[in-house]
Amino acid sequence: MLSLEVDRVTAEVLDALRSHGVECVLLKGPVLAGWLYADGAARSYVDTDILVSPPAFPKAQRVLAEIGFSTYVDDSDTPGWRQVAHHWRRATDGANVDLHRTLVGVGVSDGELWDALAADTVPIDFRGRSVRSLALPARALHIALHAAQHGVRGGKHLDDLERALAQIDFQVWAAARTLAARLGATGAFATGLRLSEPGRRLAERLALPADRSVETALLAGGSVPGALGWHYVASARGVVPRARIVARKLIPTPRFMRKWSPLARRGRRGLAAAYVARVGWVLVRVVPGFVAWRRARRGAGR
């Protein structure tokens, strides 16, 4: 979808959430486009990112379902690791919504994150309505966390980071550092900044540590397929949780398979064939993933 069409969908979703009393904050997309790209440069986006209050998350899901969206996957599809957002899609127009309950790289609970960010939001005018957005320190932090999530691969996240580094005052970055420490996100914050040369200089000026989590190291380095799986297995406590992760990796739910493989969307035979392909896909990535995970584990501070 074009950005203007995404804006239309975003307005529809925000109005629906508001009418049901769902507390939420608009992330990225039109917020960054109107702020970092005010010089007229293009900043495209293809989905809507919304952070939702944890108590209201189930209601927000019901609201999306009422206006025609269905979820790609949920927590039952990904045992052993926390989804930062639930991905919803509407078949009638191809609209996509990412319903966030946290951000990548954050070490505190969803509730603690919401309390910290929602306490200091700023209104923006969006298509004739006042919409809550993150305050500048939280925006700066989110840009760095998003860069760390997607890593060295080129993309909008690095363009956003470069523009933010050029436009945001040091005092705002210092406030972002304080917020990162409160949210247990200092390692990911520093990692994201260091993907850029100006960011590396800023990280040194902010006296940010070099330590980072294994997950952050894998994401920022352009994770080898399979490496994150090893990390989740190693992080699980006990034989049964680890076995559940392995089983779900080899034999995911049909809903996950239909997202993962176009073949799985071709009826029962296609789904069966996709499962066979899935096992092979996992097995050929076991050894490279293990090597990448071990390397990241040695290089990470924790």
Nearest-angstrom CA–CA distance, 47 and 1: 8
Nearest-angstrom CA–CA distance, 9 and 15: 10
Query: DSSP for the chain?
Result: --HHHHHHHHHHHHHHHHHTT--EEEESTHHHHHHTTTTS------SEEEEE-GGGHHHHHHHHHHTT-EES--GGGSTTS--SEEEEEETTTTEEEEEESS-TT--S-HHHHHHHHHTSEEEEEETTEEEEEE-HHHHHHHHHHHHHHHTTS-SHHHHHHHHHHHHS-HHHHHHHHHHHHHTT-HHHHHHHHTTSHHHHHHHHHTT--S---HHHHHHHTT--TTHHHHHHHHHS-SHHHHHHHHHHHHS--HHHHHHH-GGGGSHHHHHHHHHHHHHHHHHTTHHHHHHHHHHHHHHS--
Structure tokens at 140: 């700066």
Confidence of residue 143 (pLDDT cuts 50, 70, 90): very high
pLDDT for 154 beyond 70 = no
pLDDT number for residue 80: 63
Enter the pTM of the model: 0.87
What are the tens digits of pLDDT across the range 86-142?
A: 999 999 999 999 999 999 899 999 999 999 999 999 999 999 999 999 999 999 999
What are the tens digits of pLDDT across the range 211-270?
A: 778 888 777 776 667 888 888 888 888 899 889 888 888 898 898 898 889 999 999 999
What are the tens digits of pLDDT across the range 217-227?
A: 777 776 667 88
Buried b (16+ CB within 10 A) or exposed e, 141-163: bbbbbbbbbbbeeeeebbbbbbb
What are the tens digits of pLDDT across the range 181-218?
A: 999 999 999 999 999 999 999 999 999 998 778 888 77
pLDDT for 174 beyond 70 = yes
